[in-house]
Amino acid sequence: MDLFSAPAPESARQRVAELTRLIDRYNYEYYMNDRSLVSDYEFDALLRELVELEKQYPELSLPTSPARRVGGEVNKAFRQVEHRFPMLSLGNTYSIEEIEEFESRTRKLLDGVPFSYTCELKYDGVAIGLTYRHGQLVQAVTRGNGAVGDDITSNARTVGTIPLKLQGDYPDDFEARGEVVYPFEAFDAMNRQREADGEPPFANPRNAASGSLKLQDSSECAKRKLMFCMYFLMLPPDSAQQQDPAYASHSGRLEVARSMGFKVQPYIKECRDIQEIKAFIDYWDKERWNLPFGIDGVVIKVNQTGLWDQLGNTAKSPRWAIAYKFKAERVSTPLEAVTYHVGRTGIVTPVANLKPVWLGGTTVRRATLNNADFIAKLDIREGDSLLVEKGGEIIPKIVGVDLEKRPEGAEPVRYATVCPVCGTPLVRPEGEAGHYCPNSDGCLPQILGQLEHFVSRRAMDIDSLGSERLRLLYDTGLVSNVADLYDLTAEKLVGLGEGTASSIQEKGADNILKALEESKKVPFERVLFALGIRYVGEVGAKKLARHFGNIDALMGANVMELAMVEDVGEVTAVAVNDYFNLASHRAIVERLRAAGLQMTAEDKRVGNQLQGMTIVVSGVFQHFKRDEIKASIEQHGGKVGSSVSGKTTYLLAGDNMGPEKLKKAEKIGVAIISESDYERMIGEADSK
């Protein structure tokens, strides 16, 4: 309990109980029965009230409170915990014959004992184990290596389909295991948002689910609409329920789990023989694309839990269950044409335009051919038919050429030599797989891409300018580069795009101008990132901004000086240098500066103890990472030297430091200091 907060009055206690009851009920109906009992607005208001009350009176905030679902706890690193019961995996196969063998082997081993199988879906996500004690969720752990996993409890609490407290009858101590999946609809929406924000999209829902559970900020995880599909209820060996008939079968256990408030998918079937198992597999192999989430197979389990011990385990997996994995669906279809897509950075991607074909629940018309090497490797020729596959990923992939259908004398596909949009000859930088259109300031997708990147959330964060409005501003001739944005006025904006969805009225214009004004406060490192210099991501921009301190020093730096910056390789150094060598780019920077954008790094200085000193850092340290100690030197007014020379004041030595630096320092008489000396230097002076 927070020592400084006043004890909660009875009225607050009662209101918290009331809100908890209501929100729990609404959540349950929403997640379990897809039913909204109140509007989103009302629900949010109740939840906000509860969050506020719990903030005010922390003693009222229980670990099972629905307020926990909004997240907020921050994990620096996830604690590793040992599983109480190892999380075994399953033997798996792509072959129906092996399923037949599993079935006959099991029947033989059980030697006349009556039993059945359950067939259920093999959810394509991330396996986790949830520990419940006295009806409350106490811990959530990822599978990890089966013996040890990551404690992701605070993120798991944000998943709506994971009950925080149970209802009805439940064992006092048990583990619920299942898969966290990312439903397709939410996954697509999240990826669209990421692309709009200039972040790389996730390759598939499984990776996205796994990445989400490892987010450090649980309130970010709360925004990902993950779902938990329970597939296993694990009882400790001494549990009273071991004798309870309701727990004597796997399907029975899932049924009781449902009554406790778990989301248990209804697609489970008790099967008596191999024919029924095969029918289940066949059905879902076709139907799987109609599910709202991904599955990658079917799991077959002996239903009677009392027989599990008798069948036992192999080293890695139980003998009473097996997974059948679906093969990727594959079709052959004629290649009608190769077209080329030009991206925001000018990268050109070849696209196969296919004769439309039905595959895994959707019609496929196009698929990426990645780059020239890919086309050459598969030896794709004009008039070929291509093999297209759809596996766990939702995006169809070209996996080869259907050689049987190759027309005689077919010529290799000739790769484009000029940009399909602006006609500029393409270039292919040495050592890279991709071709680029170098006309970055005159090629439409690149211009629009740069504008979109500039306004994106992590860059200048001007969210009132979406891609349609940017297109409108470009089409009307008002904006053709990022500096033009700051010349916009209400007179120019109001009335634009009349009659279209992106039309701008007075209020819209006002919002745009306000956001542009606000963007003038965005720190230099983000301005630098917003310029969209090739290879300069958020981290690179930060390092460059810190190192050079302002745009003039950065523009004046040569390739060597740029490449000296930590984490800035030669390729990036060349790209930065090339960028500022263009007079048109320098002109844009000057216009942005004149508009009032930040062109100097904020002074991050916390003290002047190291004023006038140059310190060379070597080795590893206890309390600092390497770039942290360098930043700390700069924050205290010192300079970081890269090699020991006459100008070096101190050599700051960590463990395993380079012998060369040590030798040199001793030779020219540079004082060597330890990490604790350093801490004393900044600490002592701090307290003066």
Enumerate binding residues for ligand IVH (CB under 6 A). 88-90, 92, 120-123, 127, 143, 179, 231-232, 299, 318, 321, 323
Choice between 89 and 500, CB closer to ligand IVH: 89
Residue 212 CB, nearest approach to ligand IVH (Å): 16
Choice between 328 and 354, CB closer to ligand IVH: 328
Cα(381)–Cα(637) distance, integer angstroms: 63
Residue 277 CB, nearest approach to ligand IVH (Å): 14
Cα(226)–Cα(160) distance, integer angstroms: 8
Burial of 541 (0-12, 13-18, 19+ CB in 10 A): buried
What token pair was written down for 337? 């044409």
Distance between the two ends of the chain, CA-based, in angstroms? 36
Choice between 207 and 502, CB closer to ligand IVH: 207
Residue 320 CB, nearest approach to ligand IVH (Å): 8
Q: Mapped to the 3 state alphabet, what secondary structure does 275-331 carry?
A: HHHHHHHHHHHHHHHHCCCCEEEEEEEECEHHHHHHHCECCCCECCEEEEECCCEEE
Torsion of CA 96, 101, 104, 106, to 10 degrees: -110
Residues carrying an active site annotation: 122
Residue 291 CB, nearest approach to ligand IVH (Å): 13
Q: Give the residue from 283, 239, 233 showing the smallest Cα distance to 119.
A: 283
> Percentage helix, strand, coil, to 5, in the chain?
40, 20, 40
Residue 218 CB, nearest approach to ligand IVH (Å): 22
Residue 297 CB, nearest approach to ligand IVH (Å): 8
Choice between 251 and 424, CB closer to ligand IVH: 251
Choice between 140 and 321, CB closer to ligand IVH: 321
Residue 86 CB, nearest approach to ligand IVH (Å): 9
The count of other CB atoms within 10 Å of the CB of residue 299 is 20
R_g of the chain computed on alpha carbons:
31
Q: Mapped to the 3 state alphabet, what secondary structure does 322-380 carry?
A: EEEECCCEEEEEEEEEEEEEECCCCEEEEEEEEEEEEECCEEEEEEECCCHHHHHHHCC
| Alpha-carbon separation of residue 392 from 204, 274, 300, 347 (angstroms) | 8, 26, 20, 27
Cα(293)–Cα(188) distance, integer angstroms: 11
Choice between 82 and 336, CB closer to ligand IVH: 82
User: Are the beta carbons of 102 and 322 closer than 8 angstroms?
Assistant: yes
Choice between 59 and 282, CB closer to ligand IVH: 282
Choice between 239 and 349, CB closer to ligand IVH: 239
What token pair was written down for 195? 């692309």
Tell me, what DSSP letter sits at residue 487? G
Residue 341 CB, nearest approach to ligand IVH (Å): 36
Choice between 92 and 480, CB closer to ligand IVH: 92
Long-range pairs of 402-411 with CB within 8 A, sequence gap ≥ 24 = 402/332, 405/332, 405/334, 406/381, 407/383, 410/381, 410/382, 410/383, 410/384, 411/381, 411/382
Residue nearest to ligand IVH (CB): 127
SS3 122: strand
User: Are the beta carbons of 532 and 440 closer than 8 angstroms?
Assistant: no
Residue 254 CB, nearest approach to ligand IVH (Å): 10
Residue 13 CB, nearest approach to ligand IVH (Å): 41
Choice between 130 and 323, CB closer to ligand IVH: 323
From its phi and psi, is residue 185 left (phi > 0), alpha (psi between -120 and 50) or beta?
A: alpha
User: Are the beta carbons of 411 and 382 closer than 8 angstroms?
Assistant: yes
Query: Dihedral of CA 257/261/265/268: which sign?
Result: positive
Residue with tokens 């929406």: 189
Provide the pairing of β-strand 639-641 with 614-618: parallel
Q: How many CA atoms lie within 13 A of 470 on its CB side?
A: 24
Q: Give the residue from 44, 75, 51 showing the smallest Cα distance to 65.
A: 51
Order of strands, edge to edge, in the sheet holding 126-133? 136-142, 126-133, 173-181, 227-234
Choice between 88 and 559, CB closer to ligand IVH: 88
What token pair was written down for 555? 């523009």
Residue 271 CB, nearest approach to ligand IVH (Å): 14
Choice between 308 and 415, CB closer to ligand IVH: 308
Phi and psi at 120, nearest 5°, equal: -145, 175
Residue 142 CB, nearest approach to ligand IVH (Å): 10
